[in-house]
Amino acid sequence: MSRFLKVLTVAAGVSLVAGAAGAGKLGLGTEATPEEIAGWNIDVRPDGQGLPEGRGTVAEGEVVFAEQCAVCHGDFAEGAGRWPVLAGGWDTLKSQHPVKTIGSYWPYLSTVYDYIYRSMPFGNAQSLTPDQTYAIVAYLLYMNDVVTDDEFELSNENFTSIRMPNEDGFIEDDRPDTPLVSEVEPCMTDCKDEVKITKRARILDVTPDEDGDTAGISVD
Amino acid sequence: MSKSDRPEKGIASPSRRNLLKAGLAAGGLAATAGFARAAEPDPYNLPPNVADWSRYLGVGVDNAPYGMPSEHESEVVRRSVEWLTASRESSINFTPLHDLDGIITPNGLCFERHHGGVAEMNPTDYRLMINGLVDKPLIFTLEDLKRFPRENRIYFLECAANSGMEWRGAQLNGCQFTHGMVHCVMYTGVPLKYILEEAGLKTNAKWIMPEGGDAAGMNRSVPIEKALDDCMVAFKMNGEALRPEQGYPARLVVPGWEGNMWVKWLRRIEVGDQPWHAREETSKYTDLLANGKARRFTWVMDTKSVITNPSPQAPITHGKGQTVLTGLAWSGNGRITRVDVTLDGGKNWHQARIDGPSLPKALHRFYFEFDWDGSDLLLQSRAYDETGYVQPTKDELRAVRGENSIYHNNGIQTWHVMADGGVENVEIS
C-alpha A45: how far from its chain's center?
12
Q: Which of A37, A204, A208 sits opposite B33 (nearest CB)?
A: A208
- Which CATH fold would you assign to the domain A52-161? Cytochrome Bc1 Complex; Chain D, domain 2 (1.10.760)
Final residue belonging to a domain, choices B262, B295, B328: B295
Residue B358 has, within 13 A of its CA and on its CB side, a CA count of: 13
What would the pLDDT profile of A54-67 be if each residue is shown by its tens digit? 999 999 999 999 99
In a domain, B345, yes or no: yes
B150 at interface of A, judged by CB pairs closer than 8 A: no
In a domain, B5, yes or no: no
Chain A interface, best mutation among B222, B282, B333, by max A CB count within 10 A: B282
Is there a single domain that holds both residue B272 and residue B340? no
pLDDT higher than 70, residue A113: yes
In a domain, B80, yes or no: no
* Crossing angle for the helix pair A109-119 and A130-143, to the nearest 10 degrees: 130
Q: How many domains, in total, are found in chain B?
A: 2
Domain boundaries, chain A: 52-161
CB B343 within 8 A of CB B378: yes
In a domain, B177, yes or no: yes
Cβ-Cβ contacts under 8 Å between A and B: the total is 293
Is there a single domain that holds both residue B291 and residue B308? no
In a domain, B11, yes or no: no
In B266-286, which positions are buried (b, 16+ CB within 10 angstroms) versus exposed (e)? bbbbbbbeebbbbbbbbbbbb
B209 at interface of A, judged by CB pairs closer than 8 A: yes
Nearest CA distance, B179 vs chain A (angstrom): 13
- pLDDT at residue A12 in the model: 45
- Stretches where chain B sits below pLDDT 50 are 1-33
Q: Which of B198, B278, B403 sits opposite A28 (nearest CB)?
A: B198
Q: Which of B115, B170, B209 sits opposite A201 (nearest CB)?
A: B170
Determine how β-strand B232-237 pairs with β-strand B182-191. Answer: antiparallel
In a domain, B257, yes or no: yes
Q: Which residue has the higher pLDDT, A184 or B405?
A: B405
User: Measured between beta carbons, which residues in chain B are less than 8 angstroms from residue A216?
Assistant: 81, 83-84, 165, 171-172
Q: Which of B149, B302, B340 sits opposite A20 (nearest CB)?
A: B149
Is there a single domain that holds both residue B268 and residue B416? no
Final residue belonging to a domain, choices B274, B295, B316: B295
**H or E segment to which residue A11 belongs:** helix A3-20
- pLDDT at residue A8 in the model: 43
User: Measured between beta carbons, which residues in chain A are less than 8 angstroms from residue B215?
Assistant: 119, 123, 125
- Smallest CA-to-CA distance from A155 within A51, A41, A59 is with A51
**H or E segment to which residue B156 belongs:** strand B151-158
Q: What CATH number is attached to the domain comprising B361? A: 2.60.40.650
State whether A204 and B378 contact (CB < 8 Å): no
CB A125 within 8 A of CB B115: no
In a domain, B366, yes or no: yes
Nearest CA in chain B to A184: B388
- pLDDT at residue B148 in the model: 98
- pLDDT at residue A4 in the model: 39
Q: Is B199 exposed, middle or buried (0-12, 13-18, 19+ CB in 10 A)?
A: buried
Nearest CA in chain B to A122: B116
Is there a single domain that holds both residue B309 and residue B286? no
- Smallest CA-to-CA distance from B161 within B404, B361, B408, B425 is with B408
Q: Which of A25, A84, A217 sits opposite B197 (nearest CB)?
A: A25
Is there a single domain that holds both residue B253 and residue B333? no
Containing domain of residue B133, as a range? 107-295
Final residue belonging to a domain, choices B295, B323, B350: B295
Q: Which of A108, A177, A191 sits opposite B346 (nearest CB)?
A: A191
pLDDT higher than 60, residue A23: no
Is there a single domain that holds both residue B396 and residue B288? no
What is the rounded distance in angstroms from the CA atom of residue A176 to the CA atom of residue A182? 10
- pLDDT at residue B84 in the model: 85
Is there a single domain that holds both residue B272 and residue B405? no
What is the rounded distance in angstroms from the CA atom of residue B292 to the CA atom of residue B286? 12
Q: State chain A's mean pLDDT as an integer.
A: 87
What is the rounded distance in angstroms from the CA atom of residue B264 to the CA atom of residue B251? 4
Q: What CATH number is attached to the domain comprising B227? A: 3.90.420.10
**Amino acid letter for position A116:** I
In a domain, B74, yes or no: no
DSSP assignment of B250-301, as one string? -EEE-TTB-GGGS-SSEEEEEEESS----GGGTTSS-EE-TTS-EEE---BP
DSSP B119: -
DSSP assignment of A180-213, as one string? T-SSSPPP-SS--S---EEEEHHHH----BTTB-
B194 three-state secondary structure: helix
B347 at interface of A, judged by CB pairs closer than 8 A: yes
Is there a single domain that holds both residue B264 and residue B326? no
State whether A114 and B276 contact (CB < 8 Å): yes
State whether B81 and A37 contact (CB < 8 Å): no
User: Measured between beta carbons, which residues in chain A are less than 8 angstroms from residue B198?
Assistant: 25-26, 28-29
Nearest CA in chain B to A200: B426
Report ipTM for this prediction: 0.89
What is the rounded distance in angstroms from the CA atom of residue B348 to the CA atom of residue B46? 42
Judged by CB atoms within 8 Å, which residues 224-263 of B form the interface with A?
Answer: none
Nearest CA distance, A71 vs chain B (angstrom): 14
Is there a single domain that holds both residue B361 and residue B421? yes
Nearest CA in chain A to B34: A209
Span between the terminal Cα atoms of chain A, in Å: 67
What is the rounded distance in angstroms from the CA atom of residue B141 to the CA atom of residue B120? 17
